Structure 1
Amino acid sequence: MDTAATIDRPADTALPFASGLAWRNGFAALGPRFSTALRPTPLPAPYWVGTSPQVAALLGLPAGWQDAPGALDAFTGSRSIAGAAPLASVYSGHQFGVWAGQLGDGRAILLGETSGGWEVQLKGSGRTPYSRMGDGRAVLRSSIREFLASEAMHALGIPTTRALCVTGSDAPVRREEVETAAVVARVAPSFIRFGHFEHFAATGRVDELRTLADYVIDRYYPACRSGGRFAGNAYAALLEAVGERTAALVAQWQAVGFCHGVMNTDNMSILGLTIDYGPFQFMDGFDPGHICNHSDTQGRYAFSQQPQVAYWNLFCLAQALLPLVGEEETALAALAAYRSAFPAAFEARMRAKLGLADEARPGDGALADATLRLLAGERTDYTIFWRRLSRHVAGAPVEDVRDLFLDRAAFDTWMLSYQERLSQVDKALAADLMCKTNPKFVLRNHLGEQAIRSAREHRDFGELQTLQRLLATPYDEHPGHDAHAGFPPDWASSIEISCSS
């Protein structure tokens, strides 16, 4: 039994700070076959860890909302917000390639959907019917990582769930060691996953499968109802559209050096968002075979495998939707969109990183491949290389880039071919494109770890706030903060991030 469950819960009252939220609760209206209505479990003595003014503005919360009476309790799960319809949804999925059966929101409770179309979910808010013997809690460590990563990815232009705030509590939570509890208020247009569809397909509940698919199409993919390659088959059109969004998303991950770490089908968003920040990592030294998840002993989710895993997950979604799509050939034709969309999207991203601001030319893909091989040869720091190359094209000495390599001859050979291609574009346009495409700041593991240590050991959130500010504008120079954009310390390689994170 969660000891926090004995905490007195304030009676339901209108909270003035939340008066502008005006809930409409679309997913809750699907009914009890899709979710279980329940309230979050309170935590004792909560405190603020971090808030996002940008997400607060999205939700229509007033300035200073976090100081209003009841706000801290509401976003820790200790107080209800009038009009919300809290629930935990049920889904299933494949985990590490193996069918895991019924899963569901085991430690997240959806408060509801605002009139602006934003769902608000509390992650770490206590046990649900889908907790599978778990405690339903999140720890401060992983909650800080998710909060920072959500907002950092958004600032990079990568589709993602957002994070309104993190609250903490000294309530103990046992993982590999005893840690303290925290709650992340996550925000997204929808938290529906591939696994929601797999759940109903696996049990032969076609009516529920159709209801869910119709809800997703009507709310988020209305164009699937008309025209296109699959006119008259909205479910095939949905599969194609999800494949295209997923392809664009994964292309952005690969281009920025982001490793998700646990691409199970229940961690794949039907809207093509990055969701469930667990053992993620922005790579330091470039290694295509890098495995960021300490729990991934087989390397299923290694960096280079992410594009193929995404397709495998889409194939699972196609199998789930097959009773609605109809013919297997039609489903395979819809899946083909991913196979063409991903390489095109990835090449476009790499061309931008290289500053090729003109029309694509034969050989651009080969140049991008040669660049990645060069980096992989010495595991060159990925973010620093691209930023220094951007600054070089903008006028900085080439030695700043060359000094990153021990094999100078290999670098010089590559640079000659790059300069030849770069001579065909306007250099000022190239430099501008590169400096807006190759960030100076990303959420490296050691930066997150420093913020976590300060928060855990001293309840000091200054480093978290500094990172939040830098990552909100990652392409800016931010004078005085070069250390946050520098090489990782030696101890960074010893950081282990697992599924329990």
Structure 2
Amino acid sequence: MTGTIINIDDLRLGNSFAALPPVFYTRLMPTPLPAPYFVAASAKAAALVGLDAAQLASADFVEFLSGNRVPALSQPLSAVYSGHQFGAWAGQLGDGRAILMGELNGPAGPMELQLKGAGLTPYSRMGDGRAVLRSSIREFLCSEAMHALRIPTTRALSVTGSDQRIMRETPESAAVVARMAPSFVRFGSFEHWFYRDKPEQLRTLADYVISTFYPELTAEANPYKALLAEVTRRTARMVAHWQAVGFMHGVMNTDNMSILGLTIDYGPFGFMEAFDAGHICNHTDQAGRYSYANQPQVGHWNCYALGQALLPLIGDVDAAQEALGVYQPEFERTQDGLLHAKLGLSTAQDDDRLLFDAMFKLMQAGHVDFTNFFRALGNFTIEADTARTPHPDRALRDMFIEREAFDAWALQYRQRLRRENSVDATRKAEMDRANPKYILRNYLAQVAIDKADKKDFSEIAKLLAILEHPFDEQTEHEAYAALPPDWASELEVSCSS
């Protein structure tokens, strides 16, 4: 398909979700975005559905990706779902500003294309159905950055903007982000039917998800139990990967949890900078429910909420509990493997957890930059004369207030490396593949947003290009790995972000 699409009506759009009964969604047309313009596109995401970024900047595609033109084969709809928000049952929610345009086929298989910010839907509640340029840029960049970090995620195809003003805390420019995933079904999609006591609809949705996305589970004695176990397993792995790069979702409500184990709904997210296990990236989250340290247990809690919703299909509490029991061992196994990789340890030994815990305690005490510390750790040498000047660990030591405390940990780490005869050059190469140099720091996103407000979208493209290769040195872009400037401490993201 690449390079062959001239008219959007040539897009061969399918829509397996639209084949479900009408109670699962509302068919509706997007609300046109006044005088839309092209902001950004991801060539890598476009390739997944057989398109190229140059096409997406054309006038026809800008109209399509803004919701102004609907392809002939499209069946636009918004889905209904419910969910727990901040631990409390919130009742019916649904796609309040997102419209599913259909599925595009490509090398990766069918991908649903959803326009976020495409206007009012029956599920908008008190919202306006729109997204703003600021949040659209953040979601676009982070979706693609997370993929480059090898973390399961929805993808972002494009951002289009408009001079239409949307009221948030202050008036902001409207925008639409086109995002893609094999499915946008959520935990809350199942909760919706469970809490409405609609077992027929619950089964219909589960059968659709299994047959479409987990066909191997149809052979299981209890495919609904198997579905719960597999989603729980994927969720545990996803959260472990979040922790390993210091990513904080910000709003881990059950309506923001993907049935495919994808990172979904980028709102008030953040990447850890000065390490604080209790850090809360969402200014709205006053109680800290979704802090960095709480994410693993919240992921588990959300799986229990899904298990409750699937219980009528599973048929037995013990069976559901057994399925949910995979979460903790899967999380711990994944986290353990990721931590060993981050420290360049090729073997597992009994006291490794003590080494990890001591490291995080040190990082917490010194509020050491999460990403820069692990990246610099790759330069650690196994043989070092700590009596010479300058100190061989100087770059690392200088990250800590208590340098002697770091020295004590470094001694343990050096001894541990020697026990497995680690080779510096080999270990560094492996650690550099595990520890990114570049992440989407809030201040980097803000710089791109500030320029975009003046119709300069060059920084978005530049930042995307850097974040697509987070493990590479990219010495020409060294400044993008720097500590945040002082003004960045005033940046806040909330549920309106």
Q: TM-score, normalised by structure 1?
A: 0.94
Equivalent position SS for 2:376? helix
For residue 223 of structure 1, what is the amino acid of its counterpart? E
Q: Deviations over 1:356-411 (max 9, x none)?
A: 12x32211222222211110111101111011111335999521111101201110
Q: Does 1:166 align with 2:159?
A: yes
Equivalent position SS for 2:333? helix
Which position in structure 1 is the counterpart of 2:434? 437
Structure 1 unpaired stretches of 5+: 1-13
Which position in structure 2 is the counterpart of 1:6? none
Q: Percent identity?
A: 55
For residue 415 of structure 1, what is the amino acid of its counterpart? A
Q: 2:350 aligns with which of 362, 380, 395?
A: 362
How far the C-alpha of 1:99 sits from its partner, in A, is: 0.4
Which position in structure 1 is the counterpart of 2:72? 82
Q: 1:246 aligns with which of 210, 226, 235?
A: 235
CA–CA separation in structure 1 for the residues paired with 2:53 and 2:492? 38
Call closer, same or farther: CA 1:432–1:75 in 2, change over 3 Å: same
Equivalent position SS for 2:326? helix
CA–CA separation in structure 1 for the residues paired with 2:184 and 2:421? 42
Equivalent position SS for 1:367? helix
For residue 245 of structure 1, what is the amino acid of its counterpart? R
CA contact (8 A) 2:9 2:73 kept: no
For residue 317 of structure 2, what is the amino acid of its counterpart? E
Q: Does 1:33 align with 2:29?
A: no
CA–CA separation in structure 2 for the residues paired with 1:422 and 1:250? 28
Q: 1:132 aligns with which of 100, 106, 125?
A: 125
Aligned length in residues: 482
Which position in structure 2 is the counterpart of 1:265? 254
The correspondence of residues 350-429 of structure 1 with structure 2, limited to 5 A, is 350-357=339-346, 359-393=347-381, 397-423=392-418, 424-427=420-423, 428-429=425-426
The correspondence of residues 145-156 of structure 1 with structure 2, limited to 5 A, is 145-156=138-149
Which position in structure 2 is the counterpart of 1:4? none
For residue 445 of structure 2, what is the amino acid of its counterpart? G
Q: 2:182 aligns with which of 177, 183, 189?
A: 189
CA–CA separation in structure 1 for the residues paired with 2:147 and 2:341? 18
Q: Does 1:342 align with 2:336?
A: no
CA–CA separation in structure 1 for the residues paired with 2:40 and 2:445? 14
Which position in structure 2 is the counterpart of 1:7? none
Call closer, same or farther: CA 1:168–1:417 in 2, change over 3 Å: same
CA contact (8 A) 2:38 2:57 kept: no
CA contact (8 A) 1:261 1:301 kept: yes
CA contact (8 A) 1:21 1:59 kept: no
Q: Deviations over 1:200-259 (max 9, x none)?
A: 111011111101111111111122223xxxx41000011000011001000000010001
For residue 388 of structure 1, what is the amino acid of its counterpart? A
Which position in structure 1 is the counterpart of 2:474? 478
CA–CA separation in structure 2 for the residues paired with 1:93 and 1:168? 30
Call closer, same or farther: CA 1:302–1:453 in 2, change over 3 Å: same
Call closer, same or farther: CA 1:496–1:68 in 2, change over 3 Å: closer
CA–CA separation in structure 2 for the residues paired with 1:241 and 1:129? 32
CA–CA separation in structure 2 for the residues paired with 1:499 and 1:67? 30
CA contact (8 A) 2:42 2:53 kept: no
CA contact (8 A) 1:15 1:69 kept: no
Structure 2 unpaired stretches of 5+: 385-391
CA contact (8 A) 1:37 1:86 kept: yes
The correspondence of residues 439-454 of structure 1 with structure 2, limited to 5 A, is 439-454=436-451
How far the C-alpha of 1:64 sits from its partner, in A, is: 2.4
Call closer, same or farther: CA 1:63–1:52 in 2, change over 3 Å: closer
Query: What is the Cα-based RMSD across aligned positions, in Å?
Result: 1.6
Q: 1:225 aligns with which of 194, 206, 218?
A: 218
Call closer, same or farther: CA 1:431–1:140 in 2, change over 3 Å: same
CA contact (8 A) 1:110 1:122 kept: yes
CA–CA separation in structure 2 for the residues paired with 1:416 and 1:364? 14
CA–CA separation in structure 2 for the residues paired with 1:425 and 1:174? 60
Which position in structure 1 is the counterpart of 2:200? 207
Equivalent position SS for 2:434? coil
Q: Deviations over 1:404-427 (max 9, x none)?
A: 012011100100111111121432
Q: Deviations over 1:294-321 (max 9, x none)?
A: 0001001011000000111111000000
Q: TM-score, normalised by structure 2?
A: 0.94
